[in-house]
Amino acid sequence: MRISMKRLLFFVLFILLFADNLGAQIVPGLQYSDLKNIYYAREYKHIEGDPYSPALSAIGSFFIPGLGQFCCGERGRGLGMFAAGAAIDAAMIFSVTQFVYYVDVNGALFTDADEAAKWAGAAFGFSIGALVYGVFCSIDAINVAKVRNMYCRDLKKLQSMEFMVYPSLDFARTQKGATPAAGMTLSMRF
């Protein structure tokens, strides 16, 4: 009998701990790295009043990597993407300046054709890399905005309480029969 009581106690504690973890998933202050395991961007449906615009986040992050993430509240993620985008742009600008260095504008086309071709290829590669990275940042910004919108909706549900007061009319039994009795009804929704 003792063994089954221990098992029952263990089972009850396990259920209580598991139920507590389920309820604790949605708390204020979660970041995208936590939220992406709870919400899925492909399940997002736009609702009027969503705080973040996936389209504007995508456009912002395409032209300035990380801007969409930063505007959606993911400041660390946005700054990291901005730094990576700045590194790609700096490498592209350096490649272009090296290419221009080997181009002679006073007469001959190239002072060193092999070096100029190498730096032209590097500049082209970094340009394509910057374009691909801009598309990646845009897609990520869309996902961040969608997930953050779903999170904000759930936070509003958890933190909201609705009170409604409306008139009511009922019949009260008296010695003379049933007489109408007016009153007020208070309704609360959590």
What residues contact 74, with CB distance under 8 A and at least 6 apart? 31, 32, 144, 148
Amino acid identity of residue 112, one-letter, is D
CA distance linking residue 45 with residue 39, whole number of Å: 12
**Residue at 44 is within a domain:** yes
**Residue at 53 is within a domain:** yes
Checking if the pLDDT of 61 tops 90, the result is yes
CA distance linking residue 47 with residue 125, whole number of Å: 41
pLDDT tens for 1-45 read 445 666 655 665 565 555 444 444 778 888 999 999 999 999 999
pTM of the model: 0.68
Q: In the predicted model, what is the mean pLDDT of residues 47-54?
A: 94
pLDDT tens for 79-123 read 999 999 999 999 999 999 888 887 766 555 666 778 888 999 999
Cβ burial of 163 (10 Å; 0-12, 13-18, 19+) is exposed
What's the pLDDT score for residue 29?
Answer: 87
- Count of domains observed in the chain: 1
Which of 141, 157, 147, 139 minimizes the C-alpha distance to 23?
157
Question: Scanning the structure block, which residue is given the tokens 């936070």?
Answer: 155
What's the pLDDT score for residue 4?
Answer: 66
**Residue at 20 is within a domain:** no
pLDDT tens for 132-170 read 999 999 999 999 999 999 999 988 887 666 667 778 778
What's the pLDDT score for residue 166?
Answer: 76
Give CA 162 to chain center in angstroms.
27
**Residue at 31 is within a domain:** yes
Which of 49, 74, 189 minimizes the C-alpha distance to 142?
74
> How many C-beta neighbours within 10 Å does residue 138 have?
21
**Residue at 102 is within a domain:** yes
- With beta carbons less than 8 A apart as the criterion, state whether 149 and 41 touch: no
Cβ burial of 129 (10 Å; 0-12, 13-18, 19+) is middle
**Residue at 185 is within a domain:** no
Checking if the pLDDT of 76 tops 60, the result is yes
Please tell me what DSSP assigns to residue 43. G
Which domain does 91 fall in, by range? 25-161
**Residue at 110 is within a domain:** yes
HSE on the CB side for 1, CA within 13 Å? 0
**Residue at 177 is within a domain:** no
CA distance linking residue 104 with residue 51, whole number of Å: 54
